[in-house]
Structure 1
Amino acid sequence: MPWWFWILLWIALVALSLLLHLTLGYRLFRKFMATVHELGDAGQRFGNLPQPQETSDVERAGNTPAPGPAIFASPEQMRHDYVTAKAFRQEVRRRKRVERKAGRGQPQSLHDIEFS
């Protein structure tokens, strides 16, 4: 083969490689711009949502305990208060879970059913 054929072959290979890279780069740029546009639309859609009130289960139940003198109370009293509040929160969550499952028509768990 003549020497000029190799030069033409390499020029063609480099040109095709450059064309391929430019095509892939253009497609990547288009996809990136579409993603940015979608993110902007999502920001507009979800930017005006009302902020939910941050209330705990205890506050929703209407039984908010008054802050106590934790520094000066005895450890036994603080442990009792902690265990009592924890049991109250668990009971509130259990009641909500039972109501939610009853509303959906789902079977209740055995440990959620009150035995009276």
Structure 2
Amino acid sequence: MPWWSWILIWVALVALSLLLYVFLGIRLFRQFMATLKDLGAAGKKMGHISPLEQAQTRPEAGRPLPGSAVFASPTVMRHDYEASKSSRREQRRLKRVQRKTDRGQPQALGDLDFT
């Protein structure tokens, strides 16, 4: 092989590799732009909900503000915990009694309200 054929081969290899890099760069740029477009659409969709609006809305009645437990006294927090725990237990008991009544099953003595 003559010496100039090696030059042609290397020029072709370099040109093909540059063409591949250009193609990959264009493809990466298009994917990046599509991602930005999707991100912009998601931002517009979720843009109507701002963190300030969420913080300024009043919490539901009887529920403390988020983060208020840090500054509350331990006895108040213990009382709130026990009250909500007993409330959840009572709700579960009432559901269980109603479910057994609906099915015609006998009630457990612990579920009956003797008050």
The interval holding the TM-score normalised by the smaller chain is 0.5 to 0.7
Distance 1:93 1:20 in 2: 64
Deviation at 1:47, TM superposition (A): 0.3
Aligned position for 1:47: 47
Deviation at 1:115, TM superposition (A): 2.9
Identity score, percent: 40
Matches within 5 A, 1:35-114: 35-49=35-49, 51-52=53-54, 53=57, 55=59, 58-59=62-63, 78-79=74-75, 81-91=76-86, 95=91
Distance 2:16 2:2 in 1: 22
Give the ranges of 4+ consecutive aligned residues of structure 1 lying more than 3 Å apart after TM superposition.
49-54, 89-96
Pairwise CA RMSD = 3.6
Q: Deviation string for 1:25-77 (max 9, x for gaps)?
A: 100000000100111111111101375446378428xxxxxx98x5xxxxxxx
Q: Which runs of 5+ in 1 are unaligned?
A: 61-66, 71-77, 100-113
Q: Does 1:7 align with 2:7?
A: yes
Q: Does 1:20 align with 2:16?
A: no
TM-score by length of 2: 0.57
Question: Counterpart of 2:63 in 1: which secondary structure?
Answer: helix
Number of equivalenced pairs: 86
TM-score by length of 1: 0.56
Q: Deviation string for 1:63-102 (max 9, x for gaps)?
A: xxxx98x5xxxxxxx53x3321111233456659x98xxx
Greater length-normalized contact order (CA 8 Å, ≥ 6 residues apart): 1
Aligned residue identity for 1:59: R
Distance 2:87 2:32 in 1: 47
Distance 2:46 2:88 in 1: 29
